[in-house]
Amino acid sequence: MSDTLSVAWALAWIRGAQAVLAENRETLNDLDRAIGDGDHGENMDRGMKAVVGKLADGAEDVQGVLKVVASTLMSVVGGAAGPLYGTAFLRAAKATEGDVDADGAVAIVAGALEGIVARGKATTGEKTMVDSWSPALDAAKAVAESGGTAAEAFRAAAEAASKGSDDTIPLRASKGRASYLGERSMGHRDPGSLSTTLILKAAADAAEAA
């Protein structure tokens, strides 16, 4: 396992994320059907397949991979996830230079969270993907500050995102179309928090294999 993550890691991350999002397509659709329009799994699957197609010839560097993810998701997804993840990966790309060490991992997660907050105008506790990205950033930061590796930072981020996703279940939605359901949105996991968790887990898995 190498301490810094290169373009090969970024490609493995995104391909791994595509595979796991495809596997979870129906789960994500079902979660979105409960409190939304039922297309989150389909949208992420379609978007990530297009991304992987565009990355077939590789990319120059980590930033290049993240930029392709951003522009492709923005164009292809169609639902709210397009501009949200598109902006997330765009800001993550802007925060990345060269290979990724632990601070670089923090910068990627911070950039993603900043993009999602700028685009969706949500804060924590509103039953959105922010409830996974925000604790993920705190966890990644803690690892970097205590001298951990990029792989450890992504693993901690993924675990915190997963816990954050669990914590969305009892919440009442106050953003997006789920908010129209009021109290009926309670008792369901936010689908965006699960796709976030899967994406961060794929980053950690690829980093541990790098």
Partner 1 sequence: MSVALVIVSHSAQLADGVVELAAQMARNVELRAAGGTDDGRIGTSFDKVNDAVTELRAAGHDVAILTDLGSATMTVESVLDFLDEEELEHVKFSDGPLVEGAVAAAVTAQVGGDLDAVVAAGRARELFG
What b/e readout covers 98-122, taking b as 16+ CB neighbours within 10 angstroms? Answer: ebbbbebbbbbbbbbbbbbbebbeb
> Amino acid identity of 29?
N
Please tell me whether residue 119 binds partner 1 under the rule CB under 8 A: yes
Residue 40 CB, shortest distance to Mg ion, in Å, is 5
Burial status of residue 155 (CB atoms within 10 A of its CB: 0-12, 13-18, 19 or more) = buried
Contact of residue 40 among Mg ion, partner 1, none (CB under 5-8 Å per partner type) = Mg ion
Report how far residue 210's alpha carbon sits from residue 207's, in angstroms, rounded to the nearest whole number. 5
Binding of partner 1 at residue 181 (CB under 8 A)?
A: no
Dist. CA 193–CA 199, nearest whole Å: 10
Question: Which does residue 184 touch among partner 1, Mg ion, none (CB within 5 to 8 A, set by kind)?
Answer: none
37 part of the interface to Mg ion, by CB under 5 A? yes
Query: Is the distance from CB of 76 to CB of 50 less than 8 angstroms?
Result: yes
Dihedral sign, Cα of residue 95, residue 98, residue 103, residue 108: positive
* Residue 32 near which of Mg ion, partner 1, none (CB within 5-8 Å, type-dependent): Mg ion
In this chain, which of 77, 139, 199, 204 binds partner 1, going by CB under 8 A? 77
What whole-number distance in Å separates Cα of residue 105 and Cα of residue 141? 9
Smaller CB separation from Mg ion, 78 or 187: 78
Binding mask 136-175 for partner 1 (x = CB under 8 A): ---------------------------------------x
Partner whose footprint covers residue 78, from partner 1, Mg ion, none (CB < 5 to 8 Å by kind):
partner 1
Instruction: List residues near Mg ion by CB under 5 A.
Output: 32, 36-37, 39-40, 79
Instruction: List residues near partner 1 by CB under 8 A.
Output: 37, 39, 43, 74-80, 82-84, 86-87, 119-120, 175-177
